Amino acid sequence: MRGSIDDYLTGRMSVADSEAFEKSVEQDVDALNEIAFHRKVNASLADSDVDDLRKKLGKLSRRFVFRKRILVRYGIAASVAALMLLSGMHYIVGYYSNPSHIYSKYYSRFEPPALERFSGGQSLHNATTRLYWQGDYLSVVRILHADSLVQTDFIRSMILVSSLMELERIDEAVEMLCLMESLESNRIYLSCIKWNKTLCYVRRGEIDKALLVCKELESSQSCYPSSLLRELKMQLKFASVFASGG
């Protein structure tokens, strides 16, 4: 009887057998009660399975959501850290490759030799040098522009160039440096001329020109340390990239 009830309740009977089974028990109160009991048990078991499944799915869902939140939080934190690192590097490289920073780092005022000259017209030179050391660059420029010897005297020329650079009259300084570079008498001073020319181009924001002159200076027999020239060249390369929007 138990096997028949199970087959009947689980649908394993054919339609004809199911109808025959129903007719055989329709007058049997005990059999009907047992069938009703088994129905309730099966229904209870079915509901219990569903509840267990729901609980298991709920636990899995909560674990998944928790792990997902952790991954998302770690992902956001990593992204923020990477962005901050890149921004910091960009700022640092941008700062140290800024033309104004490069100019202020490498420029220094020309220091003429502390030598008193009294022969010929050298008293004027001595007076100009004193004004230069006092920082009266306007007076120095005015005097040297009227001095016919300034183009043939390297020290006078550099005092004029440095005064122009101090006054931010960079175009005039570049013009004077180009003239000095063209004179055969200044061959031995080319390193100093090219160095200041490089810095003038930096000050004007002409980084590519500055880089070109710096490379010429590096490849020649310069009086400047090779490590200093390499450092300047590297900063100019960075500045060139930033200037081009790279």
6, two tokens: 């199970």
User: What is the tens place of the pLDDT at every residue in 31-51?
Assistant: 777 777 767 666 665 555 555
The percent of residues in the chain predicted with pLDDT above 90, rounded, is 33
Q: Let me know: does 68 contact 209? Beta carbons within 8 Å.
A: no
Would you tell me how many other CB atoms lie within 10 Å of the CB of residue 79? 10
User: What is the tens place of the pLDDT at every residue in 53-91?
Assistant: 556 556 655 665 556 666 666 666 666 665 555 554 444
Question: What's the confidence (pLDDT) of residue 18?
Answer: 80
Chain position carrying tokens 């005092």? 159
Q: Let me know: does 107 contact 165? Beta carbons within 8 Å.
A: yes
Which phi and psi angles does 168 have, rounded to 5°? Answer: 65, 25
pLDDT, greater one: 136 or 117: 136
pLDDT at 142 over 80: yes
192, two tokens: 């100093």
Question: What's the confidence (pLDDT) of residue 90?
Answer: 46
Question: What's the confidence (pLDDT) of residue 118?
Answer: 42
- In terms of Cβ atoms closer than 10 Å to its own Cβ (0-12, 13-18, 19+), residue 232 is buried
User: What is the tens place of the pLDDT at every residue in 192-218?
Assistant: 999 999 999 999 999 999 999 999 988
Mean pLDDT of 174-178: 95
Mean pLDDT of 226-243: 87
What is the distance between the terminal CA atoms of the chain, rounded to a whole angstrom? 88
120-124, 167-171, 173-177, 203-207: segment of lowest average pLDDT: 120-124
Mean pLDDT of 23-37: 77
CATH number for the segment(s) 102-243: 1.25.40.10
Which phi and psi angles does 28 have, rounded to 5°? Answer: -100, 100
